[in-house]
Structure 1
Amino acid sequence: MILPASTSRFTYRLMSRLRLPPPPPRSKSMSAFLPPPSASPPHRPLFRLTLPKSFADNADAPAAALCFTTAGVITVLISVGGLTRLTKSGLSMVHWSPHKLSPPQTQEEWEGEFEHYKKFPEWQQRKGMSLDEFKFIFYWEWGHRMLGRLVGGIYGTGLGLLLLTKKVPTGYHGRLFGLMALGGAQGAVGWWMVKSGLTEDRRGDHKEIRVSPYRLAAHLCTAFVTYSGLVWTGLELMYPEADRRQVAGNVQKRIQEMVPKVDQAQILKNLRSFRGAAIATTGLTFITVASGAFVAGNSAGNAYNDWPLMNGQFIPITDIKEDYPNEGPFYRKFFENTALVQFDHRMLAYLTTGAVAGTVYTGLKLNGGAIGQSLKLLTPQAITALKATGAVAVAQVSLGISTLMLNVPIHLAATHQLGSLALLTSGLCLTHSLRYLAPRANVVAKQAAKVAVK
C-alpha cells in the first residue's frame, strides 16, 4: 500500500487497526474522494454524542431561564455603563439616594441638582456647561444606576418565586444566593468607584478629574464575574451532570470498541489537552478584558492611534520611561502609564487571538480527518461553540483595531466592549460543552460501565 507523504506513522497504524482506507492523494477531481457506487458503508455502532436536555423536558428550566434572563439584562447594563464612561457622564450624580428612583422633575429641582454638581471638582473642567448639557450626562448615569436596580429586582423576584414554588434545583441554593450577593457587591463597588472621582486628589492624573483606574477595573471585572457566574450556572442547569456522564460513557465506549488499546490512552490525552486549552483560552480572555478596563481608566486608547506600531515604534520605550508615574514602584507603570497600559492590552489581545486560533485548529483537527470522522468524539454543542469562538475572535480583533485607528469613536468603542463580552461568553460555552471530557466524568463513566457488566 502506497501512502501519501503527509500521512504520519501513528495515523497509518491507527487507521490500519480501524480498518479504514488511507486518505487518497491530492487530486483536482473530487471523484477521487468519493467511494465507488457499489461500496456499502462499514458497520459502526451508533452513539448519541450530544447533550439531550432542553427546556421542554428539564425540571430545572425555570432556574436556568432566570440565570440567562438576568445575564441578558447585565449585558445591557455593561453596555450602558461603557457609554456612560465614553460620554464622561459617570460623575454627574454626586450623591447616592437608594430610596429615590425618579430624576428631577421640575425646573427648580434640576437647578438644585446642577448647583450641587458645581460643588465638586469636575465642574472646574466644565464651567461652560449649560443646564441642558448637564441633563444629558445626568440621564446617562441615572439610566445606568436604574438598570443596576432592575437587575437586582429581576433576579431577586425570580429567586423568591423559585423558593415559594420549591423549584430551586437541589444543591444550588448556595450558588444562587451567592450570585445575588455578588450583584449587590457590584453596586457597592460602583459607588466606591464614583467616590474616587469626587475629590481633588484625582486631579494629579494628567490634570483631569477621573475615577481611579483600579476601581474602574474592579467595577467592570465584578460585572463580568457576575455575568459569567450566571451564564455558567444556566448552562449547568440546562445540561446536568447526569447527561454529561451519559455522554462521557458513550465516548469511552466508542473509543474502547473502535480503537486499539495501545492507542486509547493517547486519544483520551488529546481530548483532555484540548479541553485544557479551551479553559486556558477563556481565562486569558478574562485577563485581556481586565487590561481593557485599565486602558479605559487611563484614557489610553486615545494616545496611540496607529497600528501595528505605537507612534512609529513597536515598543514606545521613551514614552514608557517618561510618562506618568515617574516616581513610586515600577509595577505602577503597568496600571497607570498610558503607553505601557495600551502596549500590555495589545500584547494580551495578540496572545488571546493566538490561543483562540490554536484551540479552534486543535478541535477541528480532532473531529476531522479519517480518524476523527469515524470516532466523532466532540458533541454538536462543542463544535458550535468552537466555531462561534473563532468567528467572534476575528470580529473582536477587527473592532479593536478599527476603534484604535479611528481615535475611539463612541459607537465603535461601545461595540468593542460588547465584543469582549461575546468572546468571553463563547469561551464559557465552549469550556462547558467539553465538561464531559473531564477526568472525573470519564472515571465515573468507567465505574458505571464496570458495574453494568457485572
Structure 2
Amino acid sequence: MTDTAIQADARIFKEIERIDRNRRSVRIWLGVVLVAIFALVLVGGATRLTDSGLSITEWKPIHGVIPPLSAEEWDEEFSLYQKIPEFSQINKDMTVEEFKSIFWWEWAHRLLARSIGVIFGLPLAFFWLTGRLERRLRLPLAGIFLLGGLQGAIGWWMVASGLTQRVDVSQYRLAVHLTVACLIFASVAWVWRGLCRHSGQLYPHSGASHFAAFTAVLVLLQIYLGALVAGLDAGLTYNTWPLMDGALIPDGLDAMSPLWINAFENVKTVQFLHRMNAYLLILVVVVQFVYLNLRLPNSPHANRGLVLLGLVLIQAMLGIVTLIWAVPIDWALAHQGMAMIVLVFSIAHWRGFYGEYVRDTDIAVVR
C-alpha cells in the first residue's frame, strides 16, 4: 500500500470517527427530547383528568412563564377564570385556594411545552451552525421544530373552545392536539432510530416492513380514538368488558344523524370504535409476530415483534382495568403513558428495517 493510500485511509478513518462522535451527540439530544415529550403528554393527561385545562384563560407565550406571585395576582387570575362557563356552571363554589390546585397543573403543562421548544431549538441551532448535523437531517428536524410551534397554537385553539360556550374543550380539538403531539414524538423517534446501530439485516420493501408500518399507523389511530374517548368522558360509561352495554355489538351505535357524526360525538360509538381498533391492533401484532418468526426466524426483527406484542398486550390490560374501574387517574395515566411507549417502539421497529442513515460522505460503514 502506498503512502498516498495510507493517508487516504487515515483521513477516511478520522472522518468516520468525527461523524460517529457527532451522531452520538445528536442521538443523546434527541433521546432527551423524547423523554421530555413523553413527560409533556403525561402532564397533559393529568391536566385533563383533573379538569385543570381551562384554569388559564389567556395565551401569553412569553409572560405566561411567570405564575402569580402575590395575593393580588392570584385574585386577578381567579377573576378571569370566574368569567368562563366552567366556573359558573360547575365550580361556582370554588375558592382561590382550590383554584390554585388546578392552575398549577395547566401552568406546569404550558411551562413544559415551552421548555421543549428550548430543549429542541437551541441544540438544533448549535448542531446545525457548527456543522455537526448531517445535511440530510437538517430539513426534517427543522420541520419537526416548526410543527412544534404549530402545536403551541393548536393547544391554545383547543383551550379557546372551552372558554365561551362549553364547560370543557372540544373533543375534536383535543384529539388533534394529542395526535399532533404524537406525530412530533414519532418523527423524533424515527430520526433517533436512524442514528442508532442496526443489525445489517435490512428488508425495507418487504412484507415485514409493511406490517410494521401498518402497525404504527394503527397505534396512532388508537391514540386518536383514545383522545375522543377522553374528550367525551366516554370512559366513564359502559364500564364492563368484554361486553358493552350487555352485548358484543351494542345497540345505538347509529343513534345520531348524520351517520358519520356518531364516530365523533356519540359516546357509545366512540368507545366502541376504540375497543374495536384495539382488537384489530392486537390481531395485526399477533399476525406480524407469526410472520416474522416464519420468514425471519431468530432475527432482530422477530425479537422486536415479540417485544411489541408484549407491550400491546400490557397496554390492552391497562385499558381494560382503566375502563372497569371508571378511569382512576393513576391507571388512566399509566394507560396513556404505555400508549406512548407502544408508539415509540412501533416506530423504532418500523425504522429498524431501513438501517442507518447513509453518511453524507458516502462512506460505507462495516459494523
Return the offset for 1:132.
Answer: 1.3
Aligned partner of 1:398 in structure 2 is 317
Query: Structure 1 stretches (4+) deviating beyond 3 angstroms?
Result: 53-59
- Partners of 1:356 and 1:133 lie apart in 2 by 45
Q: Deviations over 1:85-133 (max 9, x none)?
A: 0000000000111222121011111111111110111111111111111
Q: Which letter does structure 2 place at the counterpart of 1:232?
A: W
Aligned partner of 2:259 in structure 1 is 330
SS in 1 for 2:304: helix
Aligned partner of 1:407 in structure 2 is 326
1:37-436 alignment to 2 at 5 Å?
57-100=20-63, 101-124=65-88, 125-200=90-165, 202=166, 209-239=167-197, 247-248=201-202, 272-318=206-252, 320-322=253-255, 326-327=256-257, 329-368=258-297, 378=299, 380=300, 382-435=301-354
Q: Which letter does structure 2 place at the counterpart of 1:353?
A: I
Of 333-342 and 95-104, more deviation after overlay is shown by 95-104
- Call closer, same or farther: CA 1:290–1:54 in 2, change over 3 Å: farther
Structure with greater Cα Rg: 1
- Call closer, same or farther: CA 1:276–1:163 in 2, change over 3 Å: closer
Give % identity.
Answer: 37
Q: Which letter does structure 1 place at the counterpart of 2:37?
A: I
- Call closer, same or farther: CA 1:388–1:96 in 2, change over 3 Å: same
Q: Is the 2:185–2:344 contact (alpha carbons within 8 Å) kept by the matching residues of 1? A: no
Structure 1, unaligned runs of 5 or more: 1-52, 203-208, 249-267, 369-375, 437-447, 449-454
Return the offset for 1:385.
Answer: 2.3
Q: Deviations over 1:258-295 (max 9, x none)?
A: xxxxxxxxxx89x9222221211111111111111111
Aligned partner of 1:24 in structure 2 is none
- Call closer, same or farther: CA 1:295–1:158 in 2, change over 3 Å: same
- Partners of 1:80 and 1:55 lie apart in 2 by 38
Return the offset for 1:213.
Answer: 0.8
SS in 1 for 2:206: helix
Q: Is the 1:111–1:131 contact (alpha carbons within 8 Å) kept by the matching residues of 2? A: yes
Q: Which letter does structure 2 place at the counterpart of 1:221?
A: T
- Partners of 2:207 and 2:194 lie apart in 1 by 22
Q: Deviations over 1:366-409 (max 9, x none)?
A: 344xxxxxxx6x3x3x3442222111111101000000000110
- Call closer, same or farther: CA 1:289–1:54 in 2, change over 3 Å: farther
Q: Is the 2:37–2:116 contact (alpha carbons within 8 Å) kept by the matching residues of 1? A: yes
Return the offset for 1:61.
Answer: 2.0
Q: TM-score, normalised by structure 2?
A: 0.87
SS in 1 for 2:135: coil
- Partners of 2:314 and 2:17 lie apart in 1 by 29
Structure 2, unaligned runs of 5 or more: 1-15, 356-363
Q: Which letter does structure 2 place at the counterpart of 1:311?
A: D
- Partners of 2:214 and 2:107 lie apart in 1 by 38
Q: Deviations over 1:2-47 (max 9, x none)?
A: xxxxxxxxxxxxxxxxxxxxxxxxxxxxxxxxxxxxxxxxxxxxxx
- Partners of 1:56 and 1:383 lie apart in 2 by 30
Q: Is the 1:103–1:142 contact (alpha carbons within 8 Å) kept by the matching residues of 2? A: yes
Of 411-420 and 95-104, more deviation after overlay is shown by 95-104
- Partners of 1:170 and 1:82 lie apart in 2 by 36
Q: Which letter does structure 1 place at the counterpart of 2:273?
A: D
Superposition RMSD in Å: 2.3
Q: Which letter does structure 1 place at the counterpart of 2:56?
A: M
Q: Which letter does structure 2 place at the counterpart of 1:114?
A: F
Q: Is the 2:120–2:145 contact (alpha carbons within 8 Å) kept by the matching residues of 1? A: yes
- Partners of 2:41 and 2:18 lie apart in 1 by 27
Aligned partner of 2:13 in structure 1 is none
Q: Deviations over 1:48-101 (max 9, x none)?
A: xxxxx9999454222222222111100000000001000000000001112221
Report how many aligned residue pairs link the two structures. 340
Q: TM-score, normalised by structure 1?
A: 0.71
Of 384-393 and 214-223, more deviation after overlay is shown by 384-393
- Partners of 2:122 and 2:294 lie apart in 1 by 46
Aligned partner of 2:12 in structure 1 is none
- Partners of 1:292 and 1:355 lie apart in 2 by 19
Q: Which letter does structure 1 place at the counterpart of 2:38?
A: T
Q: Which letter does structure 2 place at the counterpart of 1:199?
A: T
Q: Which letter does structure 2 place at the counterpart of 1:345?
A: H
Q: Deviations over 1:197-244 (max 9, x none)?
A: 0112x3xxxxxx1111110011000000000000101111224xxx78
- Partners of 1:395 and 1:429 lie apart in 2 by 18
Q: Is the 2:285–2:305 contact (alpha carbons within 8 Å) kept by the matching residues of 1? A: no
Return the offset for 1:435.
Answer: 1.9
